[in-house]
Amino acid sequence: MTDKGSRPGGERRYSSVVVDGIAQAPSRAMLRAVGFTEADFRKSQIGIASTWSNVTPCNMHIDVLAREAAAGADAAGGKAVIFNTITVSDGISMGTPGMRYSLVSREVIADSIETVVGAEGFDGFVSIGGCDKNMPGCVMAMARMDRPSVFVYGGTIKPGAGRRDIVSVFEAVGAVAGGRISEAQLLEVEQTAIPGPGSCGGMYTANTMASAIEALGLSLPDSSAQEAVSSHKHSDCRRAGAAVVELVRRGIRPSDILCREAFENAITLVIAVGGSTNAVLHLLAIAHEAGIELSLADFTRIGARVPVLADLRPSGYYSMSELVAIGGIQPLMKMLLDARLLHGGCLTVTGKTLAENLAGVGSYPEGQKIIRGFDQPIKKDSHLVVLQGNLAPEGAVAKITGKEGLSFSGKARVFGSEELALDAILGGVVVAGDVVVIRYEGPKGGPGMREMLSPTSAIMGRGLGDRVALITDGRFSGGSHGFVVGHVTPEAAVGGPIALVRDGDGITIDAAARAITLDVTDAELQRRRAEWTAPAATVRQGVLTKYAQLVSSASRGAVTTGQPDP
């Protein structure tokens, strides 16, 4: 397999159409008012896409990081211009109707960065993301615009008291319902779990995507493994600003970096760190924007040869901060490269190949227990298991580390929304042996494909993690663990088989065979399908309605560009 190398085409100034010539005097007049000098009109304009917001700890510090990136671009001879896009908080909206906007925000972020970069004629840009959907949204815009650009991760949060994080709070809610802790103990967890800025502290979706983006080659080495509140993160931002100026000078664009092998590198690293199922959805979406063919089958193919090596939360023990303390992601990438599991010839935003970036990286310290060797993996193959069968003809994605077992059979207990399922779990209606089915939560049906951290955490908190399975056409937080299957496609709202399941039906999930089976005859399914009618739309206006009309299947990344599914 041949790696794509650099194809630099020389500096291209998109900004020249905005600032050059007599006809552009009005543009220059406007720019003078925001701080441009005469000399600035001859410089490359570098946009700094900031996802700063005070709505979430993940992004509350990114205004400072944006200013650092701008300073780096200016010092390297560019002219930086900071602009903002939105963010929403998964952790705050989780379990509420507001969570419908989470995945939608990924598209809004990509669209808004495209809009500003395209309208203002920036020659290149830095995009800085902190919360889960910021990150793929930023990278989708980078791929779509194909201008020299670098992604910067806002960084991980420090652990709370007693090594707690946000998932500790969700699971404590379930523990109260199960009588395992008191409400006073829950309050103490609530008050101490989130100590300050940064993204959720395990290998949840934010840290997973930061790792994947570094493996793609779109962020600087080690950007994915730094604490939000650290001098390293400030330096990372300054270097990113300078790097974009150099990329503009050399004419290196995302299309020179985002080859198929780069996506294989990202999938490999996501598996090795035990990352979130959301990475499947987001990598498919980024590949779509980059014009790279990628499918669920690629995750199965690569997963057959890549082990899980990181003992990180949620299914493992350690936090991201503890991984940062022993060297971060880079030594693991070097291990994977040396084992010929990464394509070292892929170009990156440093202007060097991945192998060149890793050449001087050392090993983890002796005695550390966070990253296992290849001789003693957490799991010998991928924890991200793509399942197919009569319940998910287009595929479903499970996160199975083996700690929950590799198969589960039980009776369906069906719910038409996350809220109904959560009430039943907390109320003791769901019991050992049940397969909780949550449907009409897919991209179209939700609309918005909500994450199911509240139900999965309630199951774990009640001590049912190895005795109850959960399947959904929605998706899961990176903090979810247990025997869980999401992204069931086709989704219920378009008449997928999950819409036809009834209470008491037998369901078998077999990770080894990569199968998910509804124990109902084809004839009975055909009879039920003839009786099924599509439910009325839950929303009739606004961004959710537009999203439901445009969005593709989760098996294609739930994208809204290109042709929608029939």
What is the set of active-site residues?
477
The span from the CA of 237 to the CA of 220, in Å, is 9
Closest CA to 458 of 199, 202, 192, 180: 180
Q: How big is the chain, counted in residues?
A: 566
The residue type found at 55 is V
Residues 6+ apart with CB under 8 A from 552: 443, 558, 559, 560, 562, 564, 565
Residue 375, phi then psi, degrees to nearest 5: -85, -10
The span from the CA of 352 to the CA of 347, in Å, is 6
Residue 78, phi then psi, degrees to nearest 5: -95, 180
Asked if 456 contacts 470 with a C-beta cutoff of 8 angstroms, the reply is: yes
The span from the CA of 470 to the CA of 454, in Å, is 12
Closest CA to 156 of 190, 191, 109, 203: 203
Q: For the stretch 249-270, what's the b/e string if a residue is b when 16 or more beta carbons lie within 10 angstroms of its beta carbon? A: bbebbbebbbbbbbbbbbbbbb
The span from the CA of 437 to the CA of 415, in Å, is 6
For residue 291, count CB atoms less than 10 angstroms from its CB and return exposed for 0-12, middle for 13-18, buried for 19 or more.
exposed
The span from the CA of 171 to the CA of 185, in Å, is 12
The span from the CA of 134 to the CA of 511, in Å, is 31
The span from the CA of 267 to the CA of 261, in Å, is 10
Secondary structure of 258-326 in HEC code, one letter for each residue: CCHHHHHHHHHHHHHCCCCCHHHHHHHHHHHHHCCCCCHHHHHHHHCCCCECECECCCCCECHHHHHHC
Secondary structure of 314-367 in HEC code, one letter for each residue: CCCCECHHHHHHCCCCHHHHHHHHHCCCCCCCCECCCCCEHHHHHCCCCCCCCC
Q: Which residues pair with 395 in a beta bridge?
A: 489
